[in-house]
Chain A
Amino acid sequence: MPLIDYIPAQTNIGFMRLRHVTFPLSAGIMVIAVAVFFAFGFNLGIDFRGGTLIEAQSSQERAELGSLREHLTDLDLGDVQIQEFGSPRDVLIRVGEFGTTEEAQQAIIGKITGALGSEYSVRRVETVGPSVSGELVRQSVVALILGAVAVLIYLWFRFEWQFAVGALVTTAHDIFVTLMFYSILGLDFDLTSIAAILTIMGYSLNDTVVVYDRIREMLRRYKKMPMPEMLDLSVNATFSRTVIVSLTTFLACLALYLFGGEVLRGFSLAMTVGVVIGTYSTIFVAAPMLIHLGLRASAVGEKPQPKAEEGEIIPPGVDTSAIEATAPVVASSAPAPAPAPTPAPAAPAGGAGRRTGKGRGRPARG
């Protein structure tokens, strides 16, 4: 037996009603996000801007940032940033300048390592030339777009276009919020950030797909239930799973953030935020959006191989096309109780009898 049972197995929350709050909220956040991008911009790392980064560790207990700064300013290298990195012993030196040539960058590394002298040991050197950084920007944007297209095609193929569009908008929402986070906190935006964003995209999609999968199943099962009610039912049915998975992923990301070391800190912080956003958006953006995208039961085709469920819900002999034809009308009359499909008179194989008396618009809850 499980030791705890904190997570309510059965919930009955009216998520869809909340969309009147969450849609404006999300839309507002999107607008703020765009404003933030313009106001704060991004703290582009050397991957995208070109430049040089040197991580050094002092042999002393504590690195003297002040004297180091003086030393390096004397070198006249232009824009030099020096900061503590992780521990008081470690310093991160960044020299980033637009239009610096590759040759000049190599000279800069030589000068800085010379100036660091024997008191510091150089732990990491990264240089990205101006032409490479341009290519990395292009590559990353292409990767993001192609990733989105691949997902769109797959979901369209497996589900319906409404699902594909819904998943895409939700993912875009999550990416925007994450980017806003990067922008406001001034986190270094580099290749690792792209990895983080693509991971968040993957996570958010995974979350959305699991819920969409259930919605599609419910659509097939309860063809006459009004859309908001059906979506609430689906989201509630997957709610415990959503919470458990979000919690575990959140814990894993938190562990990565706290113990994963300085290099991964930005990545795991973004991931931790992404998990929270992804969970929110699945429930409050992805699902309710289907209502506005005009999804209806008739849009969902039968499964390739009909399983026992269909037989349970649609009594044999009833013209399926007639039910489907009435579905749009039903879907539009949101609060009205759905006409209940009659339970199957003769239960087909596979223990379908269990649903006797429950084959209403909504299954009775235990």
Chain B
Amino acid sequence: MLHFSRFKTLAILGITFLGILFALPNVLPNSVVQALPHWLASSRVTLGLDLQGGSHILLEVDGAALRKERAEQVRDEVRKVLRDARIGYTGLAIRDVTVQLRLRDPADTDKAVAELRKLAAPITTNLLGGGTGEMDLTVSPGSDGQVSVSLTEAGLNARVRSAVDQSIEIIRRRIDQLGTVEPNIQRQGADRILVQVPGLQDPQRLKALLGQTAKLSFRMVDQSMSPQQAMDGRPPVDSEVLRGQDGTPYLVEKQVRVSGEDLTDAQPGFDQQTSQPLVTFRFNSNGARRFATTTQDAVGRPFAIVLDNQVISAPVIREPIMGGSGQISGSFTVQQANDLAILLRAGALPAPLKVMEERTVGPSLGQDSIEAGKTAAFVAAGLVAVFMLAVYGLFGMFALIALAVHITLMFALQSILGATLTLPGIAGVVLTIGMAVDSNVVIFERIRDEAREGRSAISAIDKGFVQALGTILDANITALATGVILFLLGGSGPVRGFAVTYILGLLTTVFTAYTLTRLMIAWWVKWRRPAKLPI
């Protein structure tokens, strides 16, 4: 066991050298790393959000809202189709995800079903348009002129999927506007989105930006009755009562004249007379045309600017607005105007997002944690070092060198893999230090045993390594089994961060505590030809 071929020696030293090389950027100051030539390793260990500060937010697409909205959409389509086909009906209503109606003349059933089936679209599951053959809705006639149009589960799921994709895109645009460093936005499961934004000073603002659907619409104010009358009695069929920011009720038409989708730009600004913050916007040609016709027809009447079912302002149209641009003036603060502009530029979310889980760490706490982690690591390393030297002398020194390489390799691997070092991750590092020490202790104790049984020093060392290998492998593989399961099931939280360093640590321990120590001891044996063990 003490013989190493030249190739093996070179391989061991090579790995150690590469480890140091890749770990090096972590200790060099930033300016030096920047100045390093390209071919040199320059990636560092990414610190987790708990260490560098930042927000971890798990969002869920509101499936129920999505279903409701889709059902309403289908109901409106059904109404339009039947009207166009001049088929009379009554009792058009939504029940869960089914739109039901009764035809005035049951003889029309076949015709109505045929017309309504045209609404159904095949579900596409991927970008290439590969369909499963399923439709997103089914139309089934009942008895006595009853017809029900049902949304299929597959169709709804496809909608949730695409809503998640769109949401990710829009969230990315919104966060990019904040100008922070690289957010990590990824899909989790069927309907969730994980957003990780490092180094944010104001997490509440981030959540405010993510939590708003930002559906903007321009609608006419219904003046056929006062909002109060509408609330007391029955509002007109095509209108609804919405509240303003201060709670004032407005009676607003349901019909959207121009929607936020037609915006091409939105910028914060100030009113030139009152120097109040406001948002200026610009429509695309389609939006501009519609805005022009709307305002032309309605000079002197108020229209409402509605954001997420809240009336932001309801100005009176003084003259037709032909240029395709305008401004929204509510009672904004500067930041609110800024954020509204961001939201409008980035576009509306297809469905509301709920915050399922949030973990935000302020930068000062992260810094404290790093300091605490460093102190703990140094104290732990110091204690272990003193103990090992006291118990094993020279061999303890070898073990400590191996330990230093072990820590170096762990940082190198983390840098290469781009793994994230979290606070529980530091705990994992500390723990694998214990495991590494254990491997060395198992070997050294074994060597002592062998020597006690009457072997010569060299033979005992040789035998000790042979005997210890099985034990070390068994111990590490059992630990690895739990580590891998932790990693796989740990989700995205602290358990996973722990598992990453634990697994990497277990892998490097076997190399450093066993192979590297063996090489060092082999050299020493060759050099000193010891007759007596130093331990």
Binding site for B on A (CB under 8 A): 1-5, 7, 9-10, 47, 55, 57, 102-103, 105-106, 109-110, 113, 121-129, 131-132, 136, 139-140, 142-143, 146-147, 150-151, 154-155, 158, 191-192, 194-195, 198-199, 201-203, 205-206, 209-210, 213-214, 217, 237-238, 240-241, 244-245, 247-249, 251-256, 258-264, 267-268, 271, 351, 354-355, 358, 363, 365-366
**Does the CB pair A263–B392 fall under 8 Å?**
no
Q: How far is the CA of A262 from the CA of B373 in the complex (A)?
A: 10
**Does the CB pair B489–A127 fall under 8 Å?**
no
Partner of A259, one of B360, B362, B379, B471: B379
Closest Cβ–Cβ distance, residue B94 to chain A (whole Å):
23
**Does the CB pair B471–A210 fall under 8 Å?**
yes
**Does the CB pair A256–B357 fall under 8 Å?**
no
Partner of B442, one of A199, A210, A252: A210
**Does the CB pair B445–A123 fall under 8 Å?**
no
Closest Cβ–Cβ distance, residue A66 to chain B (whole Å):
24
B contact residues around A366 at 8 Å (CB): 452-454
**Does the CB pair B495–A143 fall under 8 Å?**
yes
Q: How far is the CA of A283 from the CA of B445 in the complex (A)?
A: 17
Which stretch from B149-157, B270-278, B380-388 is at the chain A interface? B380-388
Q: How far is the CA of A2 from the CA of B389 in the complex (A)?
A: 7
**Does the CB pair A143–B384 fall under 8 Å?**
no
**Does the CB pair A241–B376 fall under 8 Å?**
no
Nearest CB in chain A to that of B369: its residue: A261
Nearest CB in chain B to that of A307: its residue: B466
Closest Cβ–Cβ distance, residue B364 to chain A (whole Å):
6
- Is B298 close to A, CB under 8 A? no
Which stretch from B38-46, B106-114, B331-339, B473-481 is at the chain A interface? B473-481
**Does the CB pair A147–B486 fall under 8 Å?**
yes
Q: How far is the CA of A158 from the CA of B471 in the complex (A)?
A: 11
Given contacts A210-B471, A213-B474, A241-B441, contact A154 B481 (CB under 8 A): yes
**Does the CB pair A7–B391 fall under 8 Å?**
yes
- Is B354 close to A, CB under 8 A? yes
Q: How far is the CA of A287 from the CA of B435 in the complex (A)?
A: 21
Q: How far is the CA of A203 from the CA of B483 in the complex (A)?
A: 11
Instruction: Sort A-B residue pairs by CB-CB distance and give the 6 closest, nearest first.
Output: A261-B372, A255-B380, A123-B365, A143-B489, A260-B376, A249-B434
Binding site for A on B (CB under 8 A): 50, 58, 60, 203-204, 207, 211, 354-362, 364-365, 368-369, 371-373, 375-376, 379-380, 383-384, 387-393, 396, 423-424, 426-427, 430-431, 433-435, 437-438, 441-442, 445, 448-449, 452-455, 459, 467, 470-471, 474-479, 481-486, 489-491, 493-495, 498, 502, 534-535
Closest Cβ–Cβ distance, residue A157 to chain B (whole Å):
10
**Does the CB pair A122–B362 fall under 8 Å?**
yes
**Does the CB pair A131–B437 fall under 8 Å?**
no
Closest Cβ–Cβ distance, residue A196 to chain B (whole Å):
8
Closest Cβ–Cβ distance, residue B464 to chain A (whole Å):
12
B contact residues around A129 at 8 Å (CB): 354-357
Partner of B372, one of A113, A139, A264, A355: A264
**Does the CB pair A202–B479 fall under 8 Å?**
yes
**Does the CB pair B479–A267 fall under 8 Å?**
no
Q: How far is the CA of A155 from the CA of B50 in the complex (A)?
A: 36
**Does the CB pair B479–A2 fall under 8 Å?**
no
**Does the CB pair A240–B455 fall under 8 Å?**
no
Q: How far is the CA of A143 from the CA of B387 in the complex (A)?
A: 35
**Does the CB pair B441–A355 fall under 8 Å?**
no
Given contacts A154-B481, A210-B442, A245-B438, contact A260 B372 (CB under 8 A): yes
**Does the CB pair B373–A261 fall under 8 Å?**
yes
26 chain-A/chain-B pairs, Cβ below 8 angstroms: A1-B534, A2-B393, A7-B391, A9-B448, A109-B358, A123-B361, A127-B359, A129-B355, A129-B356, A132-B58, A139-B489, A143-B485, A198-B495, A205-B478, A206-B475, A241-B445, A244-B387, A245-B438, A245-B441, A248-B438, A252-B430, A262-B372, A264-B372, A264-B423, A267-B427, A355-B454
Q: How far is the CA of A151 from the CA of B535 in the complex (A)?
A: 34
Query: With A4-B390, A125-B358, A199-B431 given, can you name 12 additional A-B contacts, CB distance below 8 Å?
Result: A2-B391, A2-B393, A9-B448, A127-B355, A150-B482, A198-B495, A202-B478, A206-B479, A245-B438, A245-B442, A255-B383, A271-B427
B contact residues around A125 at 8 Å (CB): 203, 358-360
Closest Cβ–Cβ distance, residue A216 to chain B (whole Å):
9
Partner of A4, one of B373, B391, B483, B534: B391
**Does the CB pair A206–B435 fall under 8 Å?**
yes
A contact residues around B423 at 8 Å (CB): 261, 263-264
**Does the CB pair A105–B498 fall under 8 Å?**
no
Closest Cβ–Cβ distance, residue B410 to chain A (whole Å):
15
Nearest CB in chain B to that of A308: its residue: B463
**Does the CB pair A194–B485 fall under 8 Å?**
no
Given contacts A209-B471, A248-B388, A248-B437, contact A268 B365 (CB under 8 A): no
**Does the CB pair B471–A213 fall under 8 Å?**
yes
Given contacts A147-B481, A238-B445, A245-B434, contact A113 B368 (CB under 8 A): no
Given contacts A10-B452, A205-B478, A263-B50, contact A245 B437 (CB under 8 A): yes
Nearest CB in chain A to that of B438: its residue: A245
Given contacts A2-B391, A205-B478, A248-B387, contact A267 B357 (CB under 8 A): no
Q: How far is the CA of A263 from the CA of B427 in the complex (A)?
A: 11
**Does the CB pair B431–A127 fall under 8 Å?**
no
Nearest CB in chain B to that of A56: its residue: B362
**Does the CB pair A139–B455 fall under 8 Å?**
no
A contact residues around B474 at 8 Å (CB): 158, 209-210, 213
**Does the CB pair A113–B204 fall under 8 Å?**
yes
Q: How far is the CA of A127 from the CA of B484 in the complex (A)?
A: 27
Q: How far is the CA of A199 from the CA of B484 in the complex (A)?
A: 12
Nearest CB in chain B to that of A275: its residue: B434
Nearest CB in chain A to that of B365: its residue: A123
Q: How far is the CA of A105 from the CA of B431 in the complex (A)?
A: 36
A contact residues around B489 at 8 Å (CB): 139-140, 142-143, 146
**Does the CB pair A124–B361 fall under 8 Å?**
yes
Partner of A252, one of B434, B452, B476: B434
Closest Cβ–Cβ distance, residue B393 to chain A (whole Å):
4
**Does the CB pair B355–A2 fall under 8 Å?**
no
Closest Cβ–Cβ distance, residue B453 to chain A (whole Å):
6
Q: Looking at B50, B368, B427, B483, which has the most chain A CB atoms within 10 Å of its CB? A: B427
Q: How far is the CA of A365 from the CA of B211 in the complex (A)?
A: 73
**Does the CB pair B368–A261 fall under 8 Å?**
yes
Nearest CB in chain A to that of B368: its residue: A261
Q: Looking at B373, B393, B471, which has the most chain A CB atoms within 10 Å of its CB? A: B471
**Does the CB pair B434–A248 fall under 8 Å?**
yes
Q: How far is the CA of A264 from the CA of B494 in the complex (A)?
A: 11
Given contacts A102-B355, A129-B357, contact A123 B362 (CB under 8 A): yes
**Does the CB pair B376–A255 fall under 8 Å?**
yes
B contact residues around A139 at 8 Å (CB): 489-491
**Does the CB pair B430–A256 fall under 8 Å?**
yes
**Does the CB pair A263–B369 fall under 8 Å?**
yes
**Does the CB pair B372–A259 fall under 8 Å?**
yes
**Does the CB pair B424–A192 fall under 8 Å?**
yes
**Does the CB pair B452–A9 fall under 8 Å?**
yes
Closest Cβ–Cβ distance, residue B13 to chain A (whole Å):
27
Closest Cβ–Cβ distance, residue B232 to chain A (whole Å):
29
A contact residues around B362 at 8 Å (CB): 121-124
Closest Cβ–Cβ distance, residue B119 to chain A (whole Å):
33
Partner of A127, one of B357, B424, B477: B357
